[in-house]
Amino acid sequence: MARLDGKAVLITGAASGIGRATAALLAGEGATVALADINETRGHDAAQAIEGAIFNRLDVTNETDWGRVTEAVVKRFGRLDGLVNGAGIVLAASIEETTLEDWRSVMAVNLDGTFLGCKHVLGAMRKSGGGSIVNLSSVSGIVGGHNLAAYNASKGGVRLLTKSAALHCARKGYDIRCNSVHPAFVETPMVESLVSASPDVDRARQSMAHQVPLGRIAAPDEIARMILYLISDDSAFVTGAEMVIDGGVTAQ
């Protein structure tokens, strides 16, 4: 028996990177998966590569979208057991360089989107008998970076929002768990955008790897395996936790 047999999971940011890797891995463990992303072309392609998967366009900053997509998933699969809040954006800018518009854009996707996701799936998960929410934060939600003002703030917010949601669900007796995952550098379009903005791409990539005690950038599958654990019943006594997958970055 696969670890996720009978479970239905919604994954945002699923058109690429960690979200796409997670969708494929969870499906391989028996879950029926609903992929969601603002990028429709990539999202449909990702869903077509997974047997039984569906795709819905979702702007995570739009509350109406969240209601529509959650309803569509429940209508298609009859239940909702898991949510992976994987959608996110990054801005490399110090506090002096960050405009208010940029700040609000990062907060809208990374923090508002996670808040809306957690809020809107609770009803469906309760009807399904419980569930698990996994929020993608970052090591940047634990330690600061001189040029990541908005990103640090948004991911730090995700970390504590996760703990608040976990405690709320536990005290209400909902049998819904909520945990955050904190990767360091991962081979994703987000990291690639940071690398490609450098005048020396190879040097920028080497610099990232050098910051990691294990000496390399992570693969999306390595983060997806932690998410699998948190979505599965293997982590039935884990809630409000922050799971760090950073190759030793925060151990320094």
List CB contacts of 142: < 8 A, sequence separation 6 or more. Answer: 156, 159, 182, 242, 244, 250
Among 166, 190, 139, 234, which Cα is nearest to 19's? 190
Backbone angles phi and psi of 57, in degrees to 5: -70, 135
Among 30, 27, 59, 54, which Cα is nearest to 43's? 54
Does residue 242 contact residue 180 with C-beta atoms inside 8 Å?
A: yes
**Which one of 151, 180, 227, 239 is the catalytic residue?**
151
Does residue 191 contact residue 226 with C-beta atoms inside 8 Å?
A: no
Among 86, 55, 48, 81, which Cα is nearest to 69's? 55
Sort strands 32-37 and 54-57 into parallel, antiparallel or unpaired. parallel
Q: Is 229 a catalytic residue?
A: no
Backbone angles phi and psi of 212, in degrees to 5: -100, 120
**What secondary structure letter does DSSP report for 111?**
I
Known catalytic residues are 151
